[in-house]
Amino acid sequence: MSRFQFKHFTIHQSRSALKVGTDAMLLGASIKCDSPKFGLDVGAGTGVLSLMVAQAHSSIFIDAIEIDYNSFEDLSQNIFTSKFKDRIQSFNIDFFTYQSDKKYDLIFSNPPFYDDGFKFDENILFHSKHNLNFSVEKFFIKSLDLLHTKGEIWIIVPYVKTQFWLKEANKSHLFLVKQIMIESKPGKEVRSILVFSLINTSELILSTFSIRDDDGFYTDEYHLLTSEFHNKKPLR
């Protein structure tokens, strides 16, 4: 599908290897921040997260970073043709070399999620989904440098990798303040949405969310979460 239609914007994705998926929908719809001023989308892809966050937070100005040029072209087009174009800037740059005088209230990312060490492949999809050049440790170190003292980092990761990401975040003295365990169906965890802060809150917020029920239908909670972005309720 070269185009994905949302209620308030359109995602053109003919040039990008990675298309709009459930991970981005879940993370984008889950992000809630109290009147953020500056946001940073790390590995913005086609811009779906930036546009969802801009829709949900009228006060935010977002910098969207994407290293892959083909994805960056889609990203730029999607921002320019949206009603949120005055609040989102796109940059074709490596996050690890990105410099900014801003301190971001909100940093969010749907990062590469496969292990390092896979055989080299020229296919851009392989590079987009495998973290051949992505270091979790460096991600947190760089994010820490850009994060406002009261800011938050939101990411979505494989459930089986949750403890690894928590360990790496701890090295940068970041505290887990919220975790949403995502189930593909009841009892089958597949993803974690993790929220980190420099402030160690007294209570960790834990919740569980099911995408589909035992019969394979989207749950009411998935519909409610995404209804402000989807044009219609998905059935299966």
- Asked if 96 and 42 count as a contact pair (C-beta separation under 8 A), the reply is no
- Asked if 46 and 11 count as a contact pair (C-beta separation under 8 A), the reply is yes
Residue 93 is part of a domain; what is its CATH number?
3.40.50.150
The answer to whether position 231 is within a domain reads no
d(CA 84, CA 57): 11
Q: Which residues pair with 180 in a beta bridge?
A: 193, 207
The answer to whether position 11 is within a domain reads yes
Domain span at 154: 3-226
The answer to whether position 149 is within a domain reads yes
d(CA 132, CA 126): 9
Query: What are the tens digits of pLDDT across the range 11-69?
Result: 988 888 778 889 999 999 999 999 999 999 999 999 999 999 999 999 999 999 999 99
The answer to whether position 173 is within a domain reads yes
d(CA 184, CA 200): 30
The answer to whether position 153 is within a domain reads yes
Higher pLDDT, 78 or 235: 78
Q: Is the pLDDT of residue 131 over 80?
A: no
Cβ neighbours of residue 115 closer than 8 Å, sequence gap 6 or more: 130, 131
Q: What is the pTM of this model?
A: 0.91
- Chain Cα centroid distance, residue 40: 10
